Amino acid sequence: MLILIVEDEITLANEVRNFLEKEGFSCEVAHTGRIASEKLFSNDYDLLLLDLGLPDYEGIDLLKESVAKNSNTAVIILSARSALEDRIKGLNIGADDYLPKPFSLLELKSRIMAVMRRKHGIRANIIQINKLHVDLDKRQVLSGRNIITLTRKEYDILSFVVLNKNRVVTRLQISEHIWGDIIEENYNSNYIDVHIKNLRKKLSEYIEGDFLETVRGIGFQFIEINP
């Protein structure tokens, strides 16, 4: 699941992103309305977490852009604005839920799962794809009753590309997901290729076909063989 967090409070945005990524979600952040508008134009997101009170852009306008670009994108408004009319206006335009600040991160996760159940039929934090069951809560990957033994980074990469199935993810996106926004000084992009190679070898015992595709010069794509 790919989430766009639109929040101008950098500390809060990073706190939400770090929490959700630890919960297995894939996140991008926009601290300004302009950047958010560009991202909405260029990408399709499963969920938009939208702050209405942006300094350079009207949050309601971003909501309208999101609905016009992809009506399947779920939207949860996160805002200090508690006025009933703001809440009603956002919901009438197309927002799926409204969570006033300050909020609990655990409540945010519950709201996200509730919205995704209603909108996309996601009923648990388990992804079933290509005969695999990826349990985001237990950090386990199973094929039938067999638990596939993966290293921590192998699991992190697999869960990231699976959450972004049928989308190309770049090496930089993968590295940021694993190492965070500040990549360690000894980071080497070859590490990712080594992990991908090991993943292919381990998963090929359970999946037939070219399920983990290399997109030359860009990154990788996890293909859903039997959607």
Q: Counting Cβ atoms within 10 Å, is residue 36 exposed (0-12), middle (13-18) or buried (19+)?
A: buried
Show Cβ contacts of residue 12 under 8 Å, excluding neighbours closer than 6 positions.
none
| Beta carbons within 8 Å of 26's beta carbon, 6+ residues apart | 1, 2, 3, 160, 163, 164, 177
pLDDT (average), residues 191-196: 87
Q: Are 74 and 96 in contact (CB under 8 A)?
A: yes
| Residue 102 dihedral angles phi and psi, to the nearest 5° | -75, 155
Using 50, 70 and 90 to split pLDDT, how confident is the model at 189? low
For residue 112, pLDDT over 50 is answered with yes
Hey, what domains does the chain have and what are their CATH numbers? 2-120 (3.40.50.2300), 126-222 (1.10.10.10)
The model's pTM is 0.63
Give the pLDDT of residue 186.
Answer: 44
Average pLDDT (38-65) is: 89
The sign of the dihedral angle between the CA atoms of 23, 62, 60, 9 is positive
Amino acid letter, 76: I
pLDDT value of position 81: 64
Which of the pair, 4 or 176, is modelled with greater confidence?
Answer: 4
Residue type (1 letter), 5: I
Is the omega angle on the peptide bond into residue 102 within 30 degrees of 0, that is, cis?
A: yes
Reply yes or no on whether the pLDDT at 6 is more than 90. yes
pLDDT tens digits, residue range 115-166?
887 776 655 577 888 888 888 778 889 998 889 999 988 998 898 888 788 8
